[in-house]
Amino acid sequence: MTKDLPITLTIAGSDSGGGAGVQADLKTFSSLASFGTTVFTCLTAQNPDGVSGIFEISPDFVSAQLKAVAGYFPIKAAKTGMLYSAEIIKTVAEFFYENPDIQLVLDPVMVATSGAKLLKDDAILSLTNDLIPLAKLITPNLDEASLLLGEKIHQYDQLVPMAEKLFQKYNVPILLKGGHLPNATEATDVLFDGKSSYLFSKPFLKGKNTHGTGCTYSAAITSFLAHGKNLPEAVGSAKEYLHLTLEDEIKTGPINHLNHFPEPTN
Residue-wise pLDDT tens digits, 55-69: 999 999 999 999 999
CA atoms of 178 and 68, how far apart (whole Å): 37
Domains of the chain are 7-257 (3.40.1190.20)
Rg value, the chain, Cα: 17
pLDDT at 251 (0 to 100): 87
pLDDT at 173 (0 to 100): 98
Q: Which residue has the higher pLDDT, 48 or 43?
A: 43
Q: Does the pLDDT at position 266 exceed 60?
A: no
Q: Give the model's confidence band at 225: pLDDT under 50 very low, under 70 low, under 90 confident, else very high.
A: very high
46 neighbors 215 (Cβ within 8 angstroms) = no
Q: Active-site residues: which are they?
A: 177, 210, 212-215
Tell me the backbone φ, ψ of residue 96, rounded to 5 degrees: -75, -25
Q: What is the overall mean pLDDT for the chain?
A: 92
Among the residue ranges 5-14, 64-73, 130-139, 245-254, the one predicted with the least confidence is: 245-254
The interaxial angle of helices 59-70 and 86-98, nearest 10 deg, is 20
pLDDT at 154 (0 to 100): 81
Residue 133 makes CB contacts below 8 A (sequence gap 6+) with: 170, 171, 172
42 neighbors 56 (Cβ within 8 angstroms) = yes
Q: Does the pLDDT at position 213 exceed 70?
A: yes
Q: What is the DSSP letter of 133?
A: G
pTM for the predicted model, two decimal places: 0.95
Q: Give the model's confidence band at 136: pLDDT under 50 very low, under 70 low, under 90 confident, else very high.
A: very high
Q: Does the pLDDT at position 13 exceed 90?
A: yes
Q: Does the pLDDT at position 115 exceed 90?
A: no
Q: Which residue has the higher pLDDT, 73 or 210?
A: 73
Please state the rounded mean pLDDT for residues 212-234.
97
